[in-house]
Amino acid sequence: MRTELNQFGEFALIEHLTHEIAIHHDETLLGIGDDAAIIENNNACTLVSTDLLLEGIHFDLAYHPLKHLGYKAIIVNLSDIIAMNAIPKQVTVSIAVSNRFSVEALEELYKGIKLACDTYKVDLIGGDTSSSYQGLVISVTALGVQQKDKIVKRSGARPGDFIYVTGDLGGAYLGLQLMEREKKIFHENPGIQPQFENNRAILEKFLKPETRKDIISMLDQSKIVPTSMIDLSDGLSSDLLHICKQSKVAAIIEESLIPIDPDAQMLSMEFHLDPITCALSGGEDYELLLTISPEDQEKIKQLPSFYYIGEVVPVEQGIRLKTTQGNLHEITAQGWKHF
């Protein structure tokens, strides 16, 4: 019997393969299924997250400069630790490259890795290099710490909680669209140089994203522990569905409240795209999506960077978007499927 891989989505496949896994140690508090795993050591906990990035699947070196790629490979992993309300501390990086890469190319990649490590104060503690027959493979594992009672999972949202995002969405998606367009033009007319001058900011959103470590400090200083949190890597709709599924709740979010990146708003018209669809389905913005208990609402109002977009509701009510016209639409997963 042969079952094709594309019969499963990415998340369903890993669930299928690992559902019988036994946990042997009490200190393993959380395994597969959230942004990061949790290991207890005395009162503090170690958070662990890992990612495998392949050329041609997760990135395209035709438009991803190696330094930016190194930076981004670190950011996406730190983002998973931050999404648990934890402080990233260390990373390991392993790479495999074919001999079409030079030592200088790898130096560029590591410049980006170092820059991200220095910017976010994390230590590069391990990893190795080996060869590959084709293309570049990057594997990153990030480690972080947090007190047990401050760790935030995807599963804690309760009906009545308020839903927030921490910044403008859609930028990374439009940055990618722009890159794809200019790449196509360049392939058809190699003499024409790409027109990026007015769009540097939005390109950086895609090529060199940042992660919201500052949010973790703000929440800590205001003594707020979100009830649930996830980083926006797959897109608002897909990531909201993750929170709802794991918290066994539903949600209503309002179109008019979703903050859209102003450059993305402009550029989406050029591409004949609906900006709200870009925000819902785009992904890779690496802002945080979180739910807050009603009693913390006054405190959160004092903070910059928190945009209220809706409310958690009982699971029977369904996960819906209220449009500016007042209509309700069911939200479906539009996350990036790799299969």
Interface with its own copies includes 327 (CB under 8 A)? Answer: no
Q: Rule CB under 8 A: choose which of 62, 121, 222, 323 binds its own copies.
A: 121
318: tokens are: 């369904």
Task: Give, as ranges, the residues between 19 and 38 that touch its own copies (CB under 8 A).
Answer: 20-25, 27-28, 30-32, 36-37
Interface with its own copies includes 114 (CB under 8 A)? Answer: yes
What is the amino acid identity at position 216? I
CB of residue 298 vs its own copies: minimum separation in angstroms?
Answer: 35
Q: Are 211 and 290 in contact (CB under 8 A)?
A: no
CB of residue 216 vs its own copies: minimum separation in angstroms?
Answer: 16
| Minimum CB distance to its own copies smaller for 99 or for 302 | 99
Sign of the CA dihedral with 22 first, then 46, 82, and 172 last? negative
Q: Are 134 and 242 in contact (CB under 8 A)?
A: no
Interface with its own copies includes 230 (CB under 8 A)? Answer: no
Q: Rule CB under 8 A: choose which of 125, 192, 201, 269 binds its own copies.
A: 125
CB of residue 113 vs its own copies: minimum separation in angstroms?
Answer: 9
Q: Are 122 and 91 in contact (CB under 8 A)?
A: yes
CB of residue 38 vs its own copies: minimum separation in angstroms?
Answer: 8
Interface with its own copies includes 18 (CB under 8 A)? Answer: yes
CB of residue 279 vs its own copies: minimum separation in angstroms?
Answer: 24
CB of residue 36 vs its own copies: minimum separation in angstroms?
Answer: 7
CA 95 from centre of chain: 21
CA 272 – CA 104 distance, rounded (Å): 40
Per-residue HEC secondary structure of 18-68 comes to HCCCCCCCCCEEECCCCCCEEEEECCEEEEEEEEEEEECCCECCCCCCHHH
CA 316 – CA 217 distance, rounded (Å): 35
CA 235 – CA 52 distance, rounded (Å): 19
Interface with its own copies includes 214 (CB under 8 A)? Answer: no
Q: Are 204 and 175 in contact (CB under 8 A)?
A: yes
164: tokens are: 């927030």
Task: Give, as ranges, the residues between 48 and 107 that touch its own copies (CB under 8 A).
Answer: 48-52, 54, 56-58, 89-90, 92, 94-97, 99, 101-104, 106-107
CB of residue 182 vs its own copies: minimum separation in angstroms?
Answer: 23
Residue keyed to tokens 């699971």:
315
CB of residue 335 vs its own copies: minimum separation in angstroms?
Answer: 13
| Minimum CB distance to its own copies smaller for 241 or for 273 | 241
Interface with its own copies includes 44 (CB under 8 A)? Answer: yes
H/E element holding 179?
A: helix 171-188
| Minimum CB distance to its own copies smaller for 118 or for 274 | 118
CA 319 – CA 139 distance, rounded (Å): 34
Q: Rule CB under 8 A: choose which of 115, 124, 185, 266 binds its own copies.
A: 124
| Minimum CB distance to its own copies smaller for 5 or for 269 | 5
| Minimum CB distance to its own copies smaller for 92 or for 297 | 92
Task: Give, as ranges, the residues between 137 and 166 that touch its own copies (CB under 8 A).
Answer: 137, 139, 141, 143, 145
Instruction: Compute how many residues bind its own copies; rule: CB under 8 A.
Output: 81
Interface with its own copies includes 317 (CB under 8 A)? Answer: no
285: tokens are: 């913005």
CB of residue 6 vs its own copies: minimum separation in angstroms?
Answer: 7
Beta strand ranges found along 148-192 (DSSP E): 162-165
190: tokens are: 């190699």
Interface with its own copies includes 332 (CB under 8 A)? Answer: no
